[in-house]
Amino acid sequence: MGLHLRNAGDSRRRRRRREAGNVIIMAALFMAVLMGFGAMAVDVGVMMWQRRELQNVADAAALAGVQELPNDPSAAVAVATDYARRNGVDRGGWRLESVDLLPAGCTAQARNCTSLAVRVSHPDAPFLLARVLGFTTTDVKASATASIQSPNTAGNAMPWAMKESVRRNARYGDVVTIKYSAQGGDHGNFGALAIPNDRCGSSRHGANLYRCNIQNGATVEVGHTYDTEPGNMRGPTQQGMQARLNATDPLCDSFNEVFEQTGSGQWRFRSERCNPWTPAGQGSKRVVLIPVVSDSDLRGRSQVTVLGFALAFLEDFQCRSGNDCDVNVRFVQAVLSPGEDMEFVPGTPLGDIRVPRLTN
């Protein structure tokens, strides 16, 4: 009887030792798996961080280069390449895969290159801790495409219809006089537009709306049709211009305070303070858009379709005797950051105001 009890006790002890051994083995296996997942989590985090850094470089390089388009495609590629290299590409395993002009087949002669695609990568990026699981390297890639576009809709537009021929003959950087008393005078039409504006009340025509739109600017859409406002509008022009110039930020009161010319025959804002399409530049009242229309559209009280925008700096105005009231402007072609009241539609023709935007 006693011998049987000793054998039973030994059996229980052996079973407990086997169970303990199994637990140790399971715990070891569990710890190995846990450490493997931890290693993968660390390395995946590192790879995600690296891809984010590569994406930042691709985005910035594409935006930097596309600002040269469509004027200088070669410069666009060179600027994007230089920007990528100065920000880490071709060092530490990072590689610049390609810088491509778009659309495919575009040429400098045709001036139809409007987008730039940049691809960067880190081939064979090494894993750190995941090597214990047999993972050694992976490829990390990033790409960005930026386009130079003009807004389809924009605020801060003047209620003046500029003939296509007038805009075409005016050279960038020159001061041009917009003569409401001598801009053709087609059947009593001197270039004023009736642009509905909630800031100016509910009226859709008349001198008060016209004066308010000069003072505050209106929102205009390319391809949209607007009524013309017959008559010379000398008094409202003078009053609106005086109010507008009086409200201008003193630090954005001259052309050279607002703009600086780039090497590609374009201009850019010296600071966001003078960009009227940003909150910081709301005090800049001399930079405006002027709707451009077909020469044949101006016929008394009629309708005109906006073809695009001319970007202008309001130099000054003179309203002398009679109906003469001349506004002197300087036209520029400028690249600027997108404004809050701008909308972009694919296919909108490039105008004087050009905005670099990431498109994917």
Give the per-residue pLDDT at 91. Answer: 84
Alpha helices in the chain (DSSP H): 2-66, 73-86, 164-169, 207-216, 234-246, 255-258
Question: Residue 183: pLDDT band by 50, 70, 90 thresholds?
Answer: very low
Q: What is the pTM of this model?
A: 0.78
What pLDDT digit, counting tens, does each position of 245-302 carry?
A: 999 999 999 999 999 998 667 899 999 899 998 888 888 999 999 999 988 766 667 8
Alpha-carbon gap, residue 59 to 117, rounded angstroms: 9
Q: What is the mean pLDDT of residues 324-352?
A: 87
Alpha-carbon gap, residue 172 to 151, rounded angstroms: 19
Asked if 67 and 83 touch (Cβ cutoff 8 Å), the reply is no
Structure tokens at 175: 């001061």
Among 158, 177, 180, 161, which residue's Cα sits nearest to residue 169?
Answer: 177
Asked if 38 and 129 touch (Cβ cutoff 8 Å), the reply is yes
Q: What is the mean pLDDT of residues 149-156?
A: 94
Phi–psi pair at 170, nearest 5 degrees: -85, 130
For the chain, percent of residues with pLDDT exceeding 90: 49
What pLDDT digit, counting tens, does each position of 39-78 carry?
A: 555 656 677 888 899 999 999 999 999 999 998 999 999 9
Give the per-residue pLDDT at 130. Answer: 54
Q: What is the DSSP string of 203-237?
A: -SSSHHHHHHHHHH-EEEETT-EEEE--B--HHHH
pLDDT at 240 over 70: yes
pLDDT at 184 over 50: no
351 vs 188: which has the higher pLDDT: 351
Q: What is the mean pLDDT of residues 160-188?
A: 74
What pLDDT digit, counting tens, does each position of 166-178 carry?
A: 888 888 988 888 7
SS3 121: strand
Strand duo 162-163 + 287-293: pairing: parallel
Spell out a b/e string for 113-131, using b for 16 or more CB atoms within 10 Å of the CB, else e. bbbbbbbbbbeebebebbe
Domains and CATH numbers, the chain: 26-148 (3.30.1300), 153-358 (no CATH)
Alpha-carbon gap, residue 65 to 116, rounded angstroms: 7
pLDDT at 22 over 70: no
SS3 357: strand
Alpha-carbon gap, residue 350 to 356, rounded angstroms: 12
